[in-house]
Structure 1
Amino acid sequence: MNKSYLAGLLLLSLPAFSQISPIKTKVSMAADKIESKVIEWRRDFHEHPELGNNETRTAAIVAKHLQSLGMEVKTGVARTGVVGILKGGKPGPVVALRADMDGLPVTERGSLPFASKVKTQYNGQEVGVMHACGHDSHTAMLMGVAEVLAGMKADLKGSVKFIFQPAEEGSAPGVEGGAELMVKEGVLENPKVDVVFGLHIWAQTEAGKITYRPGGMMAGVNDMQIIVKGRQAHGAAPWASIDPIVVSAQIINNLQTIVSRNLNITENAGVVTIGSIHAGVRSNIIPEQAEMLGTIRSLSVEDEKLLISRIRTIATKTAEAAGATAEVKIPYSNHYPVTYNDLALTEKMLPSLAKVAGAENVKLIPPITGAEDFSFFQEKVPGLFFFLGGMPKGADPKTAPSHHTPDFFIDESSFKLGVKALTGLTLDYMDMAK
């Protein structure tokens, strides 16, 4: 089906509210009532951030809250993850809702009264720790959703599995973690999940708005390592060397032709970036080898295969032409699939988002080359992932502090909409299930 036609079809479906059961008034009232608690939880998590696979304090708070709501709770999932199961009073599907809990090795620069002062060791050096991507708000909002839905337990037409995930930002090389490990440990089984919903706060979208995309919404990602091996020599006699630095420079330049000459950019975007290069120890020694690290982003499985194949060919053949060798490792330490929103599910659930946000505030967006390991859940069951605006109203998205930066900031007025959106999706999906 033509993509532009599909997008138009989905947008036209937004006013069709009559096809979906109305969200009960008490849900809206409950979300209003719990807003202050969600903000309080978020501020606490923001002040006490923890890096991936180390979210022990956060997990303990989450588990205690879910247990207080009478749920069946499992801790230690994928190291520090928490899963709560709310069994409704009526038969129906199992809906999974996911929030990520980890912070980043970023030193906070803002003047918030609850700004992080946490320091820790990361990659052998002391770093600050900050919720610089909004995972603190995701956790707090899902805790709010859990309390709202627990208050409606007798009326629920099915069960809800609350997944509080560690290490979305990735694990250390060679260490499994995050959504991928949760899936391997069976988080989508017992009971078997029928559908999964998730959201991400977005600092460049105005609070009160929701954005989405059917199909490939966020890129799949692979990191890569390229090691070029040559022959060492004195810097004054370069003709005696096979210079891995010069070869690396040629490889980097040649890699730039992949997106511009091999990828059909009228269909999907792609990225090939070298972000790190290390070689040598002093000015007058041509070293024996050079190491490059980089990232690859793609929006389809086919494009991913194309990019990887071309990188391997270009790196190895460019090195060979110079008398050197190149070893290419893809992925080097991590791989996330494309965050792919199931087309039928997206079409079915858009009216639910429109009901809570207003149809005029639910916007179709282009794909994003950032990545999300929510995609591992979507590989197994139909999923819908969307963005929740977190930028103060009237701010300029071009100058608003972006994610993963020391000045990252989100407007807490957006949290109530996040609670209503996840709650509404859950109830409406249960109402529509046969």
Structure 2
Amino acid sequence: MNSNEINKFIEENTEKIYDEMVKIRRKIHMNPELGDEEFETSKTIKEFLNNNGIEYEEIINTGIVATIYNREGKTAATRADIDALPIFEENEVEYKSKTAGKMHACGHDAHMTIQMGVAKILADNKDKWHGTVRFFFQPAEETDGGADRMIKAGALKFKGDTDKKIDAFFALHMAPEIDLGKIGVRYGKAHATSAMFKLTVNGISSHAALPHKGVDAILIGAKVVEFLQSIVSRRIDPREEAVITVGSFKGGEAENVVCDKVEMRGTIRTMSQETRSFIIETMKRDLPKFVEGLGGSIDVNIREGYAPVINNEEITKILEENVVDLYGKESLEIINEARMDVEDVSYFLNEIKGTFFRLGTKNEEKGLIYGLHHPKFNIDERSLKIGMGIQLKNILEFLK
């Protein structure tokens, strides 16, 4: 098919299955499951794949790797995360979450649905294309990095062909900050890398009327917070994006006692792993000396998080051209700033040339304005058709 034929094919086939995919999305939305607990979700996906004759393998308990082999050619891949969040849904819709305290508030129900729709259309029309397409249904994006575990378990490998590689990777995320009908494209650095820390400041308890007899852990803790901010403002090049946030500060039990222990928890976000490493090394090396000078001691525990999301320029250019050709220039939104939130799709992008883009869902007239992880987050379901369309366009144009 040439590009015009691909566009016509996409319009006809996404329209044909749209109602079916809306029903599937609503079923998944009503039955959310948290990371590594997505057993019913995984069952729903596998039933769909079986019904459409699509080959798949199970991986890391609830993960699925589906593959359509269709003659010789290049190999493309897409990914959808499948877990929900521990949030009480506040939407009053007929497909509201049936499980109190669990909700698809990050659009993963839509990601799955789009990917299933793309797989169905490709499986039903093998005479229209050639090559291989792999679909990753990934658990635990919101918790402990299902992408990394899938890859380590062999998700990128092909049975019977150790030389076969994925040539291009396309992944999307629902974007409530972008209007319905628009697709956000970002070149280069797209999402931050992260680390989480727990700091325990140890002082000496005393009566509040005799503070000189003790070592005030709360006062030291306050100075530690200031110290952390000085790392960003005075020890890192201001052209480098970096954030250190203390999100939890706990200490003390009584108003008349000098506190002897404070526990702080927080996060580090940077756009490069080098900057993240510098911050971690600085905290581990300098915080103990700083706190010792104030008469206390500190335990520093830091756990590294996801790698940064960096989009490949070549594949991102293909995406940009596909958006314009399929939906018009008015549908393209170039994103000029990286986001400081994190995404474990980065592990796929570390291994495969690919791009991670944003699919607009915002519709003010329908009240669809709430952000990701909000108890009233919801999507305009017409975005499902747009998402299926652009992913089909990406795959078919790349493989032809």
Bin the TM-score by the shorter chain. over 0.9
- Structure 2: how far apart are the matches of 1:167 and 1:381? 20
CA displacement at 1:22 relative to structure 2: 5.7
Q: How does 1:22-101 map to 2 (within 5 A)?
A: 23-75=6-58, 77-88=59-70, 90-101=71-82
CA displacement at 1:156 relative to structure 2: 2.8
Asked if structure 2 preserves the Cα contact closer than 8 Å seen for 1:356 and 1:417, the reply is no
Asked if structure 2 preserves the Cα contact closer than 8 Å seen for 1:210 and 1:388, the reply is yes
Tell me the amino acid that sits aligned with residue 41 of structure 2.
Answer: T
Is the alpha carbon distance of 1:198 and 1:291 closer, same or farther for their aligned partners in structure 2, counting shifts above 3 Å?
same
CA displacement at 1:362 relative to structure 2: 1.2
Asked if structure 2 preserves the Cα contact closer than 8 Å seen for 1:235 and 1:284, the reply is yes
Q: What's 1:376 paired with?
A: 347
Within the candidate set 150, 153, 171, 1:182 is matched to 150
Tell me the amino acid that sits aligned with residue 338 of structure 1.
Answer: P
Asked if structure 2 preserves the Cα contact closer than 8 Å seen for 1:221 and 1:295, the reply is yes
Q: What's 1:115 paired with?
A: 96
Unpaired segments ≥5 residues, structure 2: 159-163
Asked if structure 1 preserves the Cα contact closer than 8 Å seen for 2:242 and 2:268, the reply is yes
Provide the TM-score with structure 1 as the length reference.
Answer: 0.86
Query: Could you list the runs of 4 or more consecutive aligned residues of structure 1 that deviate by over 6 angstroms after TM superposition?
Result: none
Within the candidate set 113, 116, 126, 1:143 is matched to 116
1:254-275 CA-partner distances (Å, limit 9, x unpaired): 2122333333343x42211010
CA displacement at 1:21 relative to structure 2: 7.9
1:411 paired to 2:380: yes
CA displacement at 1:38 relative to structure 2: 1.7
Asked if structure 2 preserves the Cα contact closer than 8 Å seen for 1:86 and 1:153, the reply is no
1:344 paired to 2:314: yes
Secondary structure of 1:23's aligned partner? helix
Q: Which stretch of structure 1 is more off in the superposition, 219-228 or 150-159?
A: 150-159
CA displacement at 1:305 relative to structure 2: 2.1
1:361 paired to 2:331: yes
- Structure 2: how far apart are the matches of 1:22 and 1:378? 30
CA displacement at 1:393 relative to structure 2: 5.3
Is the alpha carbon distance of 1:21 and 1:258 closer, same or farther for their aligned partners in structure 2, counting shifts above 3 Å?
farther
Tell me the amino acid that sits aligned with residue 252 of structure 2.
Answer: G
1:104-147 CA-partner distances (Å, limit 9, x unpaired): 0110112111111313xxxxxxxx10111111111111111111
CA displacement at 1:27 relative to structure 2: 2.3
Is the alpha carbon distance of 1:409 and 1:290 closer, same or farther for their aligned partners in structure 2, counting shifts above 3 Å?
same
Instruction: Provide the identity percentage.
Output: 33
Secondary structure of 2:189's aligned partner? strand
- Structure 2: how far apart are the matches of 1:396 and 1:107? 19
- Structure 2: how far apart are the matches of 1:114 and 1:71? 27
Within the candidate set 354, 357, 362, 1:391 is matched to 362
Tell me how many residue pairs correspond in the alignment. Answer: 393
Asked if structure 1 preserves the Cα contact closer than 8 Å seen for 2:28 and 2:41, the reply is yes
Is the alpha carbon distance of 1:22 and 1:341 closer, same or farther for their aligned partners in structure 2, counting shifts above 3 Å?
farther
Asked if structure 1 preserves the Cα contact closer than 8 Å seen for 2:7 and 2:393, the reply is no
Within the candidate set 219, 222, 225, 2:192 is matched to 219
Secondary structure of 1:188's aligned partner? coil
- Structure 1: how far apart are the matches of 2:288 and 2:69? 55
CA displacement at 1:148 relative to structure 2: 1.0
CA displacement at 1:55 relative to structure 2: 0.5
- Structure 2: how far apart are the matches of 1:341 and 1:393? 30
Asked if structure 2 preserves the Cα contact closer than 8 Å seen for 1:109 and 1:407, the reply is yes
- Structure 2: how far apart are the matches of 1:237 and 1:156? 80
1:198 paired to 2:171: yes
CA displacement at 1:100 relative to structure 2: 0.6
Unpaired segments ≥5 residues, structure 1: 1-17, 120-127, 172-176
Q: Cα RMSD between the aligned structures?
A: 2.0
Secondary structure of 1:408's aligned partner? coil
Is the alpha carbon distance of 1:314 and 1:402 closer, same or farther for their aligned partners in structure 2, counting shifts above 3 Å?
farther
Tell me the amino acid that sits aligned with residue 360 of structure 2.
Answer: G
